[in-house]
C-alpha cells in the first residue's frame, strides 16, 4: 500500500543526532502499520551531524521533494505502491530547535490529524491506531497523548501533568510532590494523584507523543517558536485549553521513550551526549521556564514574589549546570 494522497494521519518526527534511534522509531511505526492505515510519515532533520538523513534515505523510500521534481510525485507514489515504508524527508540547514523544526514539518502535512513523535521512542501494540480512534471519538478533544514509559518501566511524568504554576513548580522541585504523590495539593504538576490506569482529561501532555487535530493546532499557530528546547509542549497545551479544546491522557496503549537522547539531560538517554550540548540544553530549559512564567503568571503576582520566582529559576539553572559539570545525576 502506498502513502495515501489523502491520509487520515500525518506523523511528524523531528530528529537531531539520534540516527540509530530514529531508524528504530521508524521501523516500529511501519511495523505496526496495517494495510488499511492511511498515514503520511514526515521526518524533519535539524541539521544532524551523525548522518541521520543519509541513513533514512538508505533504509526507507524517500520521494524526491525538490521543486524541479514535483511533477513526478504521482509517478513516485505509484513506484512505491508495493512498499509501505515511504518517508518524506526534510533536511533543515541549521538546528532550528524543537518548536520551529516541527513547524517546518507542519507545512507538509496533508491529514486532518497530526502526531508529533520523538525519534527516541518505540511504538508498542498499535498505539497510533488506538490513540487516533480515541481522539476521534470525541469532537471536543483537541489533543491526546498515550502512556509514555521510560526504559525501566517508570512513567515519564511529562505525558501526564498539570501546568507549572509557581506553587506546582515549588512543590515539584522541592521534592514535596515525590514525598506526597497522592496529594492534589503537592502533586499538581505531576498529576500523580489521578488514576493513570484510566483515560481522563489533563492540563498537559508531552511533545514526545502528541496527537492533535490540525484545526486545533491552526487555531493556536502550532508551536511557539520563542521556545527553542523544552517547555513548548506545555505552551502548546496551554494555548489549546485557552481555545476551549480538551486534552486527554490515554493510557490504554504505550510507547517507550529513551528520554534525553538528544540533550543528554536524563539518565534514560540511549546516546552519548557531549557536556557542551548538555549545558546548552540546560540553558534552554531554564529559558523555557522564564518564557512561560512571564507570559502567563508574572502579572498575577506582587513584584517581590515575581522576582523571587525568577531568582529561583536562575538558581535552578546554575544548580543543573553544576551537576552536569561535576558528572552528577541530572534528574
More confident residue, 122 or 281: 122
What angle is formed at CA 255 by the lines to CA 253 and CA 260, rounded to 5 degrees?
150
Question: For residue 275, is pLDDT > 90?
Answer: no
Question: For residue 135, is pLDDT > 90?
Answer: yes
Closest CA to 148 of 269, 253, 279, 281: 253
- For β-strands 141-149 and 113-117, DSSP reports them as unpaired
Question: For residue 70, is pLDDT > 60?
Answer: no
Which contiguous run of DSSP H or E holds residue 116? strand 113-117
Q: Which residues contact 326 (CB under 8 A, 6 or more apart)?
A: none
Mean pLDDT computed over 314-325: 87
Question: For residue 138, is pLDDT > 60?
Answer: yes
pLDDT the model gives residue 67: 40
pLDDT digits (tens, 9 = 90+) for 44-63: 999 999 999 999 999 999 98
Which contiguous run of DSSP H or E holds residue 104? helix 97-106
Mean pLDDT computed over 104-115: 97
Q: What does the domain layout of the chain look like in residue ranges?
A: 263-331
Phi, psi of 124 (to 5 degrees): -120, 145
Question: For residue 112, is pLDDT > 60?
Answer: yes
Q: What is the pTM of this model?
A: 0.87
Assigned C-alpha cell, 254 = 504505550
Phi-psi map region of 255: left, alpha, beta (phi>0 left; psi -120 to 50 alpha): beta
Q: pLDDT > 70: what percent of the chain?
A: 88
Question: For residue 82, is pLDDT > 80?
Answer: no
pLDDT the model gives residue 234: 96
pLDDT the model gives residue 265: 58
Q: pLDDT > 90: what percent of the chain?
A: 70
Question: For residue 217, is pLDDT > 70?
Answer: yes
Mean pLDDT computed over 143-152: 96
Question: For residue 24, is pLDDT > 90?
Answer: yes
Mean pLDDT computed over 248-253: 97
In the block, cell 538517554 appears at: 269
Amino acid at each position: 500500500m502506498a502513502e495515501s494522497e489523502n491520509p487520515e494521519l500525518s506523523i511528524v518526527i523531528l530528529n537531531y543526532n539520534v540516527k540509530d534511534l530514529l531508524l528504530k522509531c521508524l521501523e516500529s511505526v511501519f511495523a505496526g502499520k496495517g494495510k488499511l492505515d492511511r498515514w503520511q510519515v514526515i521526518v524533519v532533520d535539524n541539521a544532524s551531524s551523525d548522518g541521520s538523513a543519509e541513513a533514512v534515505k538508505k533504509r526507507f523510500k524517500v520521494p524526491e521533494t525538490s521543486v524541479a521534481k514535483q511533477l513526478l510525485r504521482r509517478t513516485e507514489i505509484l513506484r512505491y505502491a508495493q512498499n509501505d515504508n515511504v518517508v518524506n524527508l526534510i533536511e533543515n540547514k541549521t538546528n532550528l530547535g524543537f518548536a520551529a523544526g516541527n513547524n517546518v514539518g507542519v507545512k507538509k502535512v496533508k491529514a486532518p490529524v497530526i502526531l508529533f513523535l520523538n525519534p527516541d521512542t518505540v511504538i508498542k501494540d498499535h498505539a497510533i491506531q488506538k490513540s487516533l480512534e480515541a481522539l476521534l471519538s470525541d469532537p471536543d478533544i483537541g489533543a491526546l497523548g498515550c502512556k509514555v514509559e521510560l526504559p525501566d518501566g517508570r512513567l515519564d511524568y511529562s505525558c501526564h501533568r498539570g501546568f507549572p504554576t509557581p506553587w506546582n513548580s515549588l512543590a515539584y522541585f522541592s521534592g514535596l510532590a515525590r514525598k506526597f504523590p497522592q496529594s492534589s495539593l503537592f502533586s499538581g504538576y505531576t498529576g500523580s494523584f489521578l488514576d493513570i490506569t484510566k483515560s481522563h482529561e489533563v492540563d498537559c501532555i508531552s511533545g514526545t507523543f502528541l496527537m492533535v487535530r490540525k484545526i486545533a493546532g491552526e487555531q493556536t499557530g502550532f508551536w511557539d517558536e520563542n521556545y527553542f528546547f523544552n517547555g513548548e509542549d506545555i505552551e502548546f497545551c496551554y494555548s489549546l485549553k485557552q481555545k476551549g479544546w480538551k486534552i486527554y491522557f490515554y493510557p490504554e496503549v504505550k510507547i517507550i521513550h529513551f528520554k534525553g537522547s538528544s540533550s543528554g539531560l536524563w539518565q534514560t538517554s540511549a546516546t552519548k551526549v557531549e557536556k557542551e550540548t548538555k549545558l546548552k540544553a540546560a540553558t534552554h530549559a531554564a529559558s523555557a521556564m522564564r518564557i512561560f512564567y512571564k507570559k502567563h503568571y508574572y502579572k498575577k503576582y506582587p513584584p517581590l514574589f515575581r522576582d523571587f520566582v525568577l531568582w529561583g529559576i536562575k538558581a535552578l539553572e546554575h544548580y543543573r549546570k553544576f551537576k552536569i559539570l561535576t558528572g552528577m545525576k541530572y534528574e
